[in-house]
Amino acid sequence: MTAPGPPLALLAELTHRCPLGCPYCSNPMALERVRDEIDTATWQRVFDEAAALGALQIHFSGGEPMVRTDLVALVAHAHAAGLYTNLITSAVLLDERRLEPLKEAGLDHVQISLQDTVAENADRIAGYAGGHEKKLKAARLVRSAGLALTINAVMHRQNLAHLPQMIALALELGAGRLEVAQVQYYGWALKNRASLIPTRNEVSQAVAIVAEARERLKGRLVIDHVVPDYYAKRPKACMGGWARQFINLTPSGLALPCHAAQGIPQLRFDNVRDRPLAEIWQHSEAFERFRGTAWMAEPCRSCERREIDWGGCRCQAMAILGDAAATDPACALSAEHGRLLALAEAESAEAVPPAFVYRRYAKAEAEPTPASASASA
Ligand code: SF4
Ligand code: FES
């Protein structure tokens, strides 16, 4: 196999701690504990290695990355290494006192997630009272500090009716970009799929709303739209292709080709504590396993789209079919496509969705820790 080109970005999951409990969280069901988080110096060494490898961006995420008391030092180091720095945050801990030093450290961009436009429903979905108001305040602070802002709107059957209001809110907050991210069903979202999945008709309406808004707001707001691929004919190029663009690091330092890869039990992951990032990117067994097209069976092997969508999503093939090397069942050419569609149609047709199973981190550990008590400090 030829050597891979450089990754585009490092997704640094600094911690799995988070005060919120979103039922669609992309973190794994088994959350990593604070005692296992890698320390400041190791993260900083990894940022240097990522820059040397040719990565251009770093995305600080979690959990809630702002619970790390060393976040400013991490941003400063990544910035000095020449990486474009993006903070992906719930923003409930982001106030003026925290924002100013991050800006000074060289933070380029902030992505804030919103759960809805109606505060009561937003707080219910997040499982965090008062969160929505805090988020709006933080978004305004980000803009008045002159930083670029993206709003991440995670949409599903329990908030999709407010899509026009969400677009208006992103505009009012001064965001340059809105990600209308309809839930993808991995991790916690897979567990809560029946509570979240919209009908095909609701998805079609959302597509039309986004198309109209894109046209109307050209030059003012960029809108990305990710639709639930259960209703698709062809799958998405998940992560831009396995091990082609991204390296995902868990809080304890495990290097994954995507955030859900630990759901594939046959894979073994290297840790940046033990192996340089360049070696992991080029030679790690988990990264090599589904890189390129050599692993593909039919119908992908002879399909003209095999280097466009790279066979879709390995984690979805694992979750639905129990075989990570199968064609993503979101593809209509998969013999199992009907099974996926039937699941979506049956669950979305339920008049009353089941109650959410919230993603919870032990409350005492979900808040920022004093420097002396944190493994990160
Ligand atoms: Fe993509 Fe495979 Fe479907 Fe072709 S058969 S469209 S490569 S998932
Ligand atoms: Fe893992 Fe799609 S989420 S390959």
* pLDDT recorded at residue 369: 46
Q: What's the whole-number mean pLDDT along residues 107-127?
A: 98
Residue nearest to atom 1 of ligand 1 (CA): 311
Which ligand 2 atom minimizes the distance to the CA of 261?
1
* pLDDT at residue number 371: 35
Query: What pLDDT digit, counting tens, does each position of 248-303 carry?
Result: 999 999 999 999 999 999 999 999 999 999 999 999 999 999 999 999 999 999 99
- Return contacts of 315-323, CB within 8 angstroms, 24+ apart: 315/186, 315/238, 315/258, 315/260, 315/261, 315/263, 315/264, 316/185, 316/186, 316/229, 316/235, 316/238, 318/263, 318/264, 319/185, 319/186, 319/190, 319/263
Question: Hey, whose CA ends up nearest to atom 8 of ligand 1?
Answer: 311
Q: Residue written as tokens 């959990």?
A: 63
Distance 236 CA to ligand 1 centre (A): 10
Q: How far is the CA of 219 from the centre of ligand 2 (A)?
A: 32
Query: What is the 269 CA–ligand 2 centroid distance (Å)?
Result: 15
Q: Give whole-number Cα distances, 40 to 47, 234, 251, in Å.
A: 11, 42, 11
Q: From the CA of 330, give the closest atom in ligand 1.
A: 8
Distance 69 CA to ligand 2 centre (A): 30
**pLDDT tens-digit readout, 301-343:** 999 999 999 999 999 999 999 999 999 999 999 999 999 999 9
Summarize the confidence of residues 176-193 as an average pLDDT.
94
- Residue 183 is encoded by which pair of tokens? 């839930």
Asked whether the bond before 299 is cis by omega within 30 degrees of 0, the reply is yes
- The rounded distance, in Å, linking the Cα atoms of 319 and 29 is 13
Ligand nearest to the CA of 311: 1
Tell me the CA–centroid distance for residue 334 and ligand 1, in Å. Answer: 8
Task: Answer yes or no: is the C-beta of 261 below 6 A from any ligand 2 atom.
Answer: yes
Residue tagged 């969160």 (tokens): 131
Confidence (pLDDT) at 222 = 98
Q: Is the C-beta atom of 249 inside 6 A of ligand 2?
A: no
- Which residue among 234, 238, 308, 321 is best mutated to probe the pocket of ligand 1, counting the most ligand atoms within 8 A of its Cβ? 234
Q: Where are the alpha helices (DSSP H) in 127-274?
A: 131-144, 163-172, 187-191, 193-196, 200-216
The radius of gyration computed from the CA coordinates of the chain, to the nearest angstrom, equals: 20
CA 181, 187, 192, 197 dihedral sign is positive
Is residue 281 lining ligand 2, measured as CB closer than 6 Å?
A: no
**Ligand 1, atom 5: nearest CA belongs to which residue?**
300
Encode pLDDT of 122-149 as tens digits: 999 999 999 999 999 999 999 999 999 9
Q: Which atom of ligand 2 sits closest to the CA of residue 263?
A: 1
- pLDDT for 227 equals 86
Q: Is the pTM of this model over 0.85?
A: yes
Please give the number of the atom of ligand 2 that sits closest to the Cα of 313: 2
The ligand 1 site (C-beta within 6 Å) comprises 234-235, 299-300, 303, 305-306, 309, 311-312, 327-328, 331, 333
Closest atom of ligand 1 relative to the 309 alpha carbon: 1
Chain mean position to CA 202:
23
Is 81 close to ligand 2, i.e. is its CB under 6 Å away?
Answer: no
Strand ordering across the sheet containing 148-155: 222-226, 177-182, 148-155, 109-114, 84-89, 57-61, 9-13, 246-249, 255-256
Average pLDDT, the chain: 94
Give the mean model confidence (pLDDT) for residues 151-166. Answer: 97
Ligand 2 touching residue 315 (CB < 6 A): yes
- Ligand 2 binding pocket includes 237 (Cβ within 6 Å): no
Tell me, in angstroms, the distance from the centre of ligand 1 to residue 306's CA. Answer: 6
Percent of residues, the chain, with pLDDT higher than 70? 95
Distance 313 CA to ligand 2 centre (A): 5
Residue to mutate, 293, 327, 337, 340, ligand 1, most ligand atoms under 8 Å from C-beta: 327
Instruction: Give the pLDDT confidence of 212-262 residue by residue, as tens digits.
Output: 999 999 999 999 998 888 998 999 999 999 999 999 999 999 999 999 999
